[in-house]
């Protein structure tokens, strides 16, 4: 049952708001309302931030996109949340990786949550208004009452904060060692250009993909949120390739997670699936190593990996394998991959010392994000 008075209350809040913001999650994709959300955002000039599982619900290069929110979110998204006076969540659960320190999340905002799950309120935050129902039913009722706005001053403020995750990192392919973010930037462009599907594992590469992924269509970004299951990417990609045989399916994984289900390469060959597999190989559990470096005074424990030669293993399965450790060779190999009919595995060897920024340290608020070693956050 739709309570018209509640919708009018939300519409009135939005009409009075000077700094509104939309946050969309996986529910928006599952409900099939991504086009309606785009139309709503464009009509009212609403800034949009999409969570890890909602990334394929709003095109990253759209002029209204703020990028990823949360622990590894962009400065623009996180500072937008912290300065908004109205935050409307559409199909997102406000999980701990998105909100940071609970009692300092969106401190200036009224929070409105649209969700199909009746247990959502109170799990992490208590929204001021909760609208229970399928977004297919509730979003149109809300959207039809929203009027055109520009929010010019709010956008001037938002543009003071960086939309790019690490603007100081040079990702050009000039001669030199290959970097993790650098590799991911060119891989995700290939995914976007081919209208492909990308399946990521869990760790640093997962966050780089979330930060770098350009425009993709709904249901094109598959990753393990919530449980964060290492080993997810290859089986997920097998399912995607079987379900969508007309599309190019990419695996982007770390060397740790990839080896947790490496035996499924046999299934890839047996089913003749033309997967493009890119392993960001830093010979360690990169995210754990980063935390031990940053928060545990470099007291490293159980993070180094002495893994096998992945290209040799690929060939043992009958899969074409390539090693890339120099930036200037990456494009040539990616061009080759685009012409191959069968599966290909790329062993992309990068430094183990590279970290993912920005980062909101555990237990801190979103505005306390660390932008990078050479970009301290201003007070």
Is it the case that residue 374 has pLDDT exceeding 90?
no
CA distance 276 to 252: 9
Decide if 372 is inside a domain.
Answer: no
Average pLDDT over residues 4-21: 97
CATH number at residue 72: 3.40.50.1220
- For residues 185 and 149, membership in a common domain is answered with no
Decide if 168 is inside a domain.
Answer: no
pTM higher than 0.75, yes or no?
Answer: yes
- For residues 228 and 319, membership in a common domain is answered with yes
Q: What percent of the chain has pLDDT over 70?
A: 98
- For residues 218 and 142, membership in a common domain is answered with no
CATH number at residue 267: 3.40.50.970
- For residues 245 and 343, membership in a common domain is answered with yes
Decide if 196 is inside a domain.
Answer: yes
Is it the case that residue 377 has pLDDT exceeding 70?
no
| pLDDT of 226 | 85
Is it the case that residue 87 has pLDDT exceeding 90?
yes
- Angle between helical axes of 204-212 and 286-295 (0-180°, round to 10): 100
CA distance 129 to 308: 53
- For residues 144 and 287, membership in a common domain is answered with no
- For residues 191 and 244, membership in a common domain is answered with yes
- For residues 145 and 230, membership in a common domain is answered with no
| pLDDT of 3 | 86
Is it the case that residue 2 has pLDDT exceeding 50?
yes
Decide if 375 is inside a domain.
Answer: no
Q: What is the pLDDT of residues 265-280, one digit of tens each?
A: 999 999 999 999 999 9
- For residues 137 and 195, membership in a common domain is answered with no
For residue 284, the enclosing domain spans 180-349
Q: Among 286, 205, 317, which Cα is nearest to 250's? A: 205
Is it the case that residue 375 has pLDDT exceeding 60?
no
> 3-class secondary structure for the chain?
CCCHHHHHHHHHHHHHCCCEEEEECHHHHHCCCHHHHHHHHHHHCCCEEECHHHHHHCCCCCCCEEECCCCCCCHHHHHHHHHCCEEEEECCCCCHHHHCCHHHCCCCCEEEEEECCCCCCCCCCCCCEEEECCHHHHHHHHHCCCCCCCCHHHHHHHCCCCCCCCCCCCCCCCCCECCHHHHHHHHHHHHHHCCCEEEECCCHHHHHHHHHCCCCCCCCEECCCCCCCCCCHHHHHHHHHHHCCCCCEEEEEEHHHHCCCHHHHHHHHHCCCCCEEEEEECCECHHHHHHHHHHCCCCCCCCECCCCCHHHHHHHCCCEEEEECEHHHHHHHHHHHHHCCCCEEEEEECCCCCCCCCECCCCCCHHHCECCCCCCCCC
Cis link prior to 358 (omega < 30° from 0)? yes
pLDDT averaged over the chain? Answer: 95
Q: What is the pLDDT of residues 173-210, one digit of tens each?
A: 999 999 999 999 999 999 999 999 999 999 999 999 99
Average pLDDT over residues 250-271: 98
Q: How confident is the model at residue 84 (pLDDT cuts 50, 70, 90)?
A: very high
| pLDDT of 47 | 99
Q: What is the pLDDT of residues 124-165, one digit of tens each?
A: 999 999 999 999 999 999 999 999 999 999 999 999 999 999
Is it the case that residue 378 has pLDDT exceeding 50?
no
- For residues 119 and 202, membership in a common domain is answered with no
Decide if 357 is inside a domain.
Answer: no
For the chain, the domain total comes to: 2
Q: Cβ(190)–Cβ(47) under 8 Å? A: no
| pLDDT of 376 | 41
Is it the case that residue 286 has pLDDT exceeding 90?
yes
Rg (CA), the chain: 21
- For residues 154 and 201, membership in a common domain is answered with no
| pLDDT of 373 | 74
- For residues 137 and 220, membership in a common domain is answered with no
- For residues 35 and 86, membership in a common domain is answered with yes
């Amino acid at each position: 049952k739709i309570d018209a008075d509640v919708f009018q209350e939300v519409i009135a809040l939005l009409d009075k708001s000077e700094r509104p913001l939309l946050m969309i999650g996986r529910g928006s994709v599952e409900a099939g309302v991504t086009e309606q959300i785009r139309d709503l955002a464009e009509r009212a000039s609403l800034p949009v931030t999409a969570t890890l599982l909602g990334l394929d619900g709003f095109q990253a290069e759209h002029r209204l996109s703020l990028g990823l929110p949360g622990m590894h979110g962009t400065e623009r998204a996180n500072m937008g949340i912290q300065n908004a006076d109205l935050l409307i969540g559409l199909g997102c659960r406000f999980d701990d990786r998105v909100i940071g320190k609970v009692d300092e999340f969106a401190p200036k905002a009224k929070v409105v949550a649209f969700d199909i799950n009746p247990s959502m309120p109170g799990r992490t935050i208590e929204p001021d208004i909760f609208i229970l129902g399928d977004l297919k039913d509730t979003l149109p009722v809300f959207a039809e009452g929203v009027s055109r706005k520009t929010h010019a001053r709010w956008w001037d403020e938002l543009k003071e904060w960086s939309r790019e995750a690490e603007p100081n990192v040079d990702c050009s392919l000039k001669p030199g060692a290959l970097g993790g973010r650098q590799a991911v930037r060119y891989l995700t462009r290939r995914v976007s250009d081919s209208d492909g599907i990308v399946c990521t594992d869990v760790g640093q590469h997962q966050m780089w993909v979330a930060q770098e992924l350009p425009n993709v269509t709904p249901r094109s970004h598959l990753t393990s949120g919530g449980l964060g299951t290492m080993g997810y990417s290859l089986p997920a990609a097998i399912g995607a390739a079987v379900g969508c045989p007309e599309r190019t399916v990419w695996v982007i994984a770390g060397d740790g997670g990839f080896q947790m289900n490496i035996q499924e390469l046999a299934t890839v060959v047996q089913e003749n699936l033309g997967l493009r597999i890119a392993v960001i190989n830093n010979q360690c559990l990169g995210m754990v190593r980063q935390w031990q470096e940053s928060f545990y005074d470099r007291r490293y424990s159980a993070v180094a990996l002495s893994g096998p030669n992945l290209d040799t293993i690929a060939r043992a399965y009958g899969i074409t394998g390539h090693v890339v450790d120099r930036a200037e060779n990456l494009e040539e190999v990616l061009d080759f991959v685009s012409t191959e009919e069968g599966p290909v595995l790329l062993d992309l060897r990068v430094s183990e010392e590279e970290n993912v920024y920005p980062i909101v340290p555990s237990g801190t608020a979103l505005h306390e994000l660390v932008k990078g070693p050479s970009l301290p956050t201003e007070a």
